Amino acid sequence: MDKVLGTINGMDFTIGDSLLELSYLIAALLFVYGLKLLSHPATARRGNLWAAGGMGLAMITTLLLHKNDSGAGIPLLNMWIIIAFIGIGSAIGWIIARRVKMTAMPQLVSLFNASGGAASMLVALLEYPNAIAGDIGSILVTVLGLIIGSVAFSGSVIAWAKLDGRVGDIMKPFMTYINLVLLIVTLGMGVFVVFSPTPPSDLMWAIYALTVLSLVYGVMFVMPIGGADMPVVISLLNALTGIAAAMAGFIYGNQAMILGGILVGAAGMILTMLMCKAMNRSLLNVIIGSFGGGGAAGAEHEHGTIKEIQLSDAAVLLSYSQKIVIIPGYGLAVAQAQHIVHELDALLEGKGIEVKYAIHPVAGRMPGHMNVLLAEADVPYEQLVEMDAINPDMPNVDVAIVIGANDVVNPAAYDDPSSPIYGMPIIDAHLAKNIIIMKRGMGKGYAGIENYLFFNDKTRMLFGDAKSSIQKLVNEIKSM
């Protein structure tokens, strides 16, 4: 029988309880250590493993040592059900992660966010009837977990659908007012539930109404947001999922869930604010600004002169350069050209040419998308240079190769006050001595605005599929 060590608030505290709490503390420390390792691509893989180990420890010790108020452990049948569903979920996750394409990674991240939000929403729905009337603290964390979890769930599902091309944008001015009204009504209903003296069992109608309102708000909140803002939205939804998990931790008094949720929420919010800074916009402006559907800006350049370059000329230009910067964007991911572009940079480096990759904070469709994409192709981390570090050296670059990037190199951010991206920090590709832009055609970027860089006197367009074009370029350089 478990030895009683003492009594806290009238409840016996046993060796098993001590070991369980200690395991939660160790799990929390592993979360922190894993998060620290995730701060650099070279250690991110180990960081994931350490954090997963912490979660595994918390799950195992909970199954073995958790006791209810009467001192009984988890029934054997329940334990097998839990283990079975953990196994099923792990198998599904492993299969999805192995099969997902890099171009679909943002969608996968959105679905992960959705599952976390759904879990927190269900915990709140299940535990609210057990709350004690008048216990404002307990009811508050339950209601917050319900609202935030529901918004994170439905918002992440819409984010997935938008990224996957299944749902379009609804960018109408009236959407802002609808969302504000919906948010006020949702928060008002939440306040009513928290401070109502009515027993929770008699307020289930209000909880269900609050769930529906929160789910609808999650949909309406994400729907108007343009594609160029999706990295910020995904990061924000990730933060909301973490906060919802922390609320679930407060419901159960689980220290590992609380700290894990706080870490995810805080990291997500910090990343969100950093990306907003990289776009020179406030979070509120991202949420209600409907950025990404313009097109009026840059109209005066619609009929500018476009100059093309032939593969042979591009091969000569690159072969006789000393410093080259490759600027990747979402188009690189779509073309699945990360491996061949690494072959190109290795070929050029073999000729004694310095090759770097310029990484914009919001390039792609999720935070760190380009870093992940190039890491898959085994591009050395030392070659990946962030925007702030590469920009001062751009005037010394012989050739800037833009592959699939559009808005993050658009000089309209500097030159056109009427542009939706005016004031947004960009990679200064226009300062390079020569610019080669690889595109399928003259289509606009995800922000839907014209790119002034296309009309720069130093710019040459290399039209075609990026993967095919780079492969031909590699062959041309090899034959020289």
Catalytic residue numbers?
Answer: 407
Angle at the Cα of 49 (from 45 to 50), degrees rounded to 5?
A: 115
Whether the CA torsion 411, 356, 405, 459 is positive or negative: it is positive
Three-state DSSP at 469 gives helix
Q: Nearest 5°: phi and psi at 464?
A: 135, 170
Joined tokens for residue 174: 């009236």
Q: Please state, in angstroms and rounded to a whole number, the distance separating the CA atoms of residues 234 and 219.
A: 13
Contact in structure between 159 and 110 (CB atoms under 8 Å):
yes
Q: How many CA atoms lie within 13 A of 428 on its CB side?
A: 14
**Block residue for tokens 């990289």:** 278
Q: How many CA atoms lie within 13 A of 338 on its CB side?
A: 20
Joined tokens for residue 285: 């402006």
Those residues with Cβ within 8 angstroms of residue 138's Cβ, 6 or more apart along the chain or in another chain: 131, 132, 251
For 286, other C-beta atoms within 10 Å of its C-beta total 22
